[in-house]
Structure 1
Amino acid sequence: MAEKDDYLVDILVDLGAVSAEQVAALRPEAQSAGVGLVDLMLANKVVRPADVTQAKAAHFGAEVVNLSEVKVADDVISVIPRHIARKYRVIPVFKHDNTLTVALADPSDLDTIDSL
């Protein structure tokens, strides 16, 4: 049976963040400990959190944005009310014509995407 984070593991291998040999060596330990393979790789510093973020972005067809490097215009930030931004953990980043680009804390949260 495939583990729930196997899609991320496959992407991490494809990105070169971890080797297939490392994955094969860690998989039995993750299974016996009852933890996810990605969590184990993070705990053992086999991969970095940034690698996992990049893998998730690749899976969802999203782009990783370092918000500390982005200057968001006041007219863009005001498009989404603060209480909505906090509730859904989103930040408006860019606006072009009638299209608003937002940064999501969790791009797999389909409820948030649907609500927006």
Structure 2
Amino acid sequence: AAAVRTLLGQGHRPDAIIAANAQVALGVLDELVAVGCRIPEDVGVAAVDDPFPASSFLPRLTIVEQPGYAMGKAAVELLTARLDPARRAEPPRETIFEATLKIGTSCGEPLGDAG
């Protein structure tokens, strides 16, 4: 809540706020409504992950969903390889995972200059 108040107090209202997870997004939504912002007309809100609890929010939260299982599996494989003395010299590897954008009613059309 304090971060939202600080952001809004800077004199420039953002078009949208992307929260680290659905719990944080709920706090963002609560604070925006408390200061009189309309969601998504004034400020859009989205979150990264947490699709299950986010489905019960009103407005329905926009989510950037990540493949958590695949990410965890890849992390374990990388760590296991680093622990294997025969594989320690392998160069670092980069793995890119595809995220899915699930658009809810907490985001709308871009507002242009909102502030």
State the TM-score, normalizing by the size of structure 2. Answer: 0.23
Largest Rg, 1 or 2? 2
